[in-house]
Structure 1
C-alpha cells in the first residue's frame, strides 16, 4: 500500500494509528530513507531491520537470497517512511 499526500496532511499519523490497531505481537518494522539510497544500502537496512545474525553477505545475489529466505519465514509489516527517496535501482 502507498500513502501519498502533501506535507502536513497526517499521513504518518494515520499509518501509525492503524499500526497500533494491529493484533498484539504483529511484527512491524520501520525503515526511513533520508537520501537516495543504493540497492546495497536498502539491503543493509533490511538486514538490520530483520535483526539477522552474522555478517551481511558480500555479493548481491547471496544477500538477496538471505533476505528473501528471512522474509518468507513469517508475515511482517514493513513501514518505509519517506519512500520517495527510493530510486529504481533501490526498488528493484
Structure 2
C-alpha cells in the first residue's frame, strides 16, 4: 500500500527538495512504496487527503491530525539517524 508523505517548507523549493529526495531514498532502501508530495507550508491542508506523514523543514503551528516530523536534520545532517528512525516508525508501524 502506497504511503503519502507530505514534505513541506516555506517556499516548496530549496529545503523541501533536499528533504524530499532523502525521504524518497529512505523509503526505497526500506521497501516502502511512497508518494512524496512536496508543498509549501500554506498548501499542507489542501494536500492532506490520504497523508500518512508530514515532514516539515519549517515550524508547523497547526494540528492536522497526521504525524508531523521536523525535517531539518535532512538538511543540516545533525540528528539524521534519529529522524530516519522516527519516519520509519510512522510508516512501518
**TM-score, normalised relative to structure 2:** 0.30
Structure whose CA Rg is larger = 1
